[in-house]
C-alpha cells in the first residue's frame, strides 16, 4: 500500500478544499432552507435510511453527509483531509443538522473501527473516491467488516471508461493503468463545473487556483471494484451504468440534460460516464472468508 502517497494527497486536498468551498456561497443557509446535495441516483441506491446508522466514506466537506442526515440517518463521515473535516464539523453546527465527522486515512480508520467493533447499516461512497485509494482489497474488506449482517454498501462513481479521454474527447490514456498517476495537484473542479457542483448558487471565490502540493491517483476498472467486493464476501445486488455524469463538467461541449446530468455533445454517441453498485453483507464476513480460503484481514 502507498500510504506515503495517501499522505501527499492529504496535503493536496487540504489546499484544494479551501478553493472548492469558496465557490459555494453560504452553505449553512442552503441547508437551513431545506437544501440537499444528493442526486436521485444516490437516494435510489440507498433506499429508506431513516433511523439507520450510515457511514459515509471519503465524505469531503460533509455536504452529502448532512443531506443523508436530513433524511433521518445517524451519519458518520470520514475523510483524510483536515480542512474538509473541519469545514464539515462547522457546517453541521451552523446548519443545525447533526452528524459526526472523523479525520483519518481510511485504511487506518478501518483498523480502528474493527478493534472497536463499530458496525453500520449502510456504507456509502460517491464520485471521485476510489481513485485516491492504493489498495481496493483493503477498502472492500474494511467495508465488509464494518457492515452489520444484512447491511448494504451503496456506491456511485465516475466511469473508468470516460478516463481514457482527454478534455477534447480524444482517446489518450490507458484504461485503468496499474501504476499510480502523478498529477500537479487536486484541481479546482468546482470552478470548472460551475453551478453543477455549487448547489446553493455559484460564486467566483478563489480565482486561478494552483495547488502547491502534487497528488497521486490510482485507477481502477469496474472489474477491479466488483471483484474486490466479491472477494470481501459481499453479494452484488445492483450494477448500473449511466450515460451522463452528475454535476461534473469534465470534457468540452458537455450538455446539461436537466438536473445537473452532464452528457457528451449531441453529435457524439452515448457513452457511460457513471456507474453504481449496491452490495450486501450476508451473514458473517469471517465465516465467508474461512469457507473461501481467504485471509480474514
Enter the pTM of the model: 0.91
Which residues pair with residue 79 across a beta bridge?
Answer: 103
- Residue 196, domain member (yes or no): yes
State the CATH number of the domain containing residue 209. 3.40.50.150
Determine the pLDDT at residue 194: 65
- Residue 32, domain member (yes or no): yes
Determine the pLDDT at residue 198: 60
**Which residue segment(s) compose the domain that 145 sits in?**
3-292
- The pLDDT of 268-282, averaged and rounded, is 97
- Residue 245, domain member (yes or no): yes
- The pLDDT of 4-10, averaged and rounded, is 95
Q: Which three cell numbers stand for residue 121?
A: 447499516
Q: Which three cell numbers stand for residue 292?
A: 473461501
Alpha carbon distance 177, 174 (integer Å): 6
111, exposed or middle or buried, with CB in 10 Å at 0-12, 13-18, 19+? middle
Q: What is the pLDDT of residues 212-266, one digit of tens each?
A: 999 999 999 999 999 999 999 999 999 999 999 999 898 999 999 999 999 999 9
- Residue 130, domain member (yes or no): yes
62 Ramachandran zone, left/alpha/beta (phi>0; psi -120 to 50): left
Alpha carbon distance 255, 265 (integer Å): 6
- Residue 276, domain member (yes or no): yes
Please write down the HEC assignment for all residues of 118-169. Answer: CCEEEEEEECCCHHHCCCHHHHHHHHHHHEEEEEEEEEEEECHHHHHECCCC
Determine the pLDDT at residue 187: 80
Q: What is the pLDDT of residues 172-211, one digit of tens each?
A: 999 999 899 999 998 877 776 666 666 667 676 778 888 9
**Number of domains forming the structure of the chain:** 1
- Residue 297, domain member (yes or no): no
Residue 72 pLDDT class (50, 70, 90 cuts) = very high
Amino acid at each position: 500500500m502507498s500510504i506515503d502517497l495517501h499522505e501527499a494527497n492529504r496535503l493536496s486536498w487540504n489546499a484544494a478544499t479551501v478553493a472548492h468551498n469558496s465557490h459555494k456561497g453560504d452553505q449553512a443557509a442552503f441547508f437551513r432552507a431545506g437544501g440537499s446535495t444528493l442526486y436521485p441516483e444516490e437516494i435510489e441506491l440507498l433506499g429508506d435510511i431513516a433511523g439507520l446508522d450510515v457511514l459515509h466514506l471519503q465524505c469531503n466537506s460533509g455536504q452529502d453527509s448532512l443531506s443523508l442526515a436530513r433524511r433521518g440517518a445517524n451519519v458518520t463521515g470520514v475523510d483524510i483531509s483536515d480542512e474538509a473535516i473541519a469545514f464539515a464539523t462547522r457546517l453541521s453546527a451552523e446548519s443545525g443538522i447533526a452528524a459526526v465527522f472523523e479525520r483519518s486515512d481510511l485504511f487506518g480508520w478501518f483498523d480502528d473501527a474493527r478493534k472497536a467493533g463499530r458496525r453500520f447499516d449502510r456504507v456509502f461512497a460517491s464520485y471521485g473516491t476510489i481513485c485516491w485509494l492504493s489498495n481496493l482489497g483493503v477498502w472492500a474488506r474494511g467495508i465488509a467488516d464494518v457492515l452489520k449482517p444484512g447491511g448494504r454498501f451503496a456506491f456511485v462513481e465516475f466511469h473508468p471508461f470516460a478516463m481514457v479521454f482527454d478534455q477534447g474527447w480524444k482517446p489518450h490514456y490507458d484504461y485503468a493503468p496499474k501504476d499510480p498517476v502523478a498529477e500537479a495537484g487536486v484541481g479546482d473542479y468546482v470552478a470548472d463545473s460551475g453551478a453543477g457542483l455549487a448547489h446553493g448558487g455559484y460564486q467566483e471565490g478563489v480565482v486561478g487556483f494552483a495547488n502547491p502540493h502534487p497528488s497521486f491517483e490510482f485507477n481502477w476498472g469496474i472489474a477491479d471494484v466488483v471483484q474486490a467486493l466479491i472477494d470481501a464476501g459481499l453479494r452484488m445486488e445492483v450494477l448500473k451504468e449511466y450515460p451522463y455524469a452528475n454535476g461534473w463538467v469534465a470534457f468540452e461541449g458537455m450538455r446539461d440534460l436537466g438536473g445537473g446530468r452532464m452528457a457528451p455533445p449531441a453529435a457524439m454517441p452515448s457513452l457511460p460516464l457513471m456507474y453504481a453498485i449496491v452490495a450486501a453483507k450476508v451473514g458473517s464476513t469471517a465465516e465467508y472468508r474461512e469457507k473461501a480460503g481467504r485471509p480474514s484481514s
